[in-house]
Amino acid sequence: MKTLLARLTLIISVVVAPFTQAAWYEVSASSPILESQQAARVRAFEAATFDAVRFAGADVGSLQQLKRFYTQVKPGYQFSGNAVREVQVLEEGTQGGNYVVNLRLDIYPSANACHKTQYKKGLVLTRFPIVSPQQAALGGIYQFGDDFSVLLNREITQHAQSFVGRGIANVDVSPNMPSAVAMLAEDKDAQFVVTGAITDLSATTDTSGFGKAQNNRQLAVNVQAMDSDSGEVIFQRRYRDVAHWPFERHSQVDTQTARFWQSPYGRWHAG
Look at residues 75, 198, 195, 85 and name the one whose alpha carbon lies nearest to residue 136: 198
Q: What is the pLDDT of residue 146?
A: 93
Beta-carbon neighbour count of residue 193 at 10 Å? Answer: 29
Q: Could you tell me where in the chain the CATH 3.30.1660.40 domains are found?
A: 21-111
Q: Considering the domain 21-111, what is its CATH architecture?
A: 2-Layer Sandwich (3.30)
Q: Could you tell me where in the chain the CATH 3.40.50.10610 domains are found?
A: 4-17+120-265
* Spatial separation of the C-alpha atoms in residues 67 and 82, rounded to whole Å: 13
The Cα angle at residue 235 between residues 1 and 177, in degrees rounded to 5: 135
Beta-carbon neighbour count of residue 126 at 10 Å? Answer: 20
Look at residues 68, 74, 100 and name the one whose alpha carbon lies nearest to residue 87: 74
* Spatial separation of the C-alpha atoms in residues 6 and 49, rounded to whole Å: 31
Count of alpha carbons within 13 Å of 160, Cβ hemisphere only?
Answer: 30
Q: What is the pLDDT of residue 20?
A: 54
CATH of 4-17+120-265, one of 3.40.50.10610, 3.20.20.210, 1.10.1420.10, 2.60.40.3670: 3.40.50.10610
Local confidence pLDDT in tens for the 271 residues of the chain: 346 777 677 667 655 655 555 577 888 899 999 989 999 999 999 999 988 888 777 777 767 778 889 999 999 998 877 788 889 999 999 988 999 999 998 887 654 433 444 446 788 999 999 999 999 999 999 999 999 998 888 888 777 666 778 899 988 888 788 888 888 888 988 888 999 999 999 998 877 666 677 889 999 999 888 888 777 787 788 888 888 899 988 899 999 998 898 888 887 655 5
Burial 234-263 (b: 16+ CB within 10 A, else e): beeeebebbbebebeeeeebebeeeebbeb
Contacts of 257 (CB under 8 A, 6+ apart): none
Residue type present at position 156: I
* Spatial separation of the C-alpha atoms in residues 127 and 148, rounded to whole Å: 8
pTM above 0.95, yes or no: no
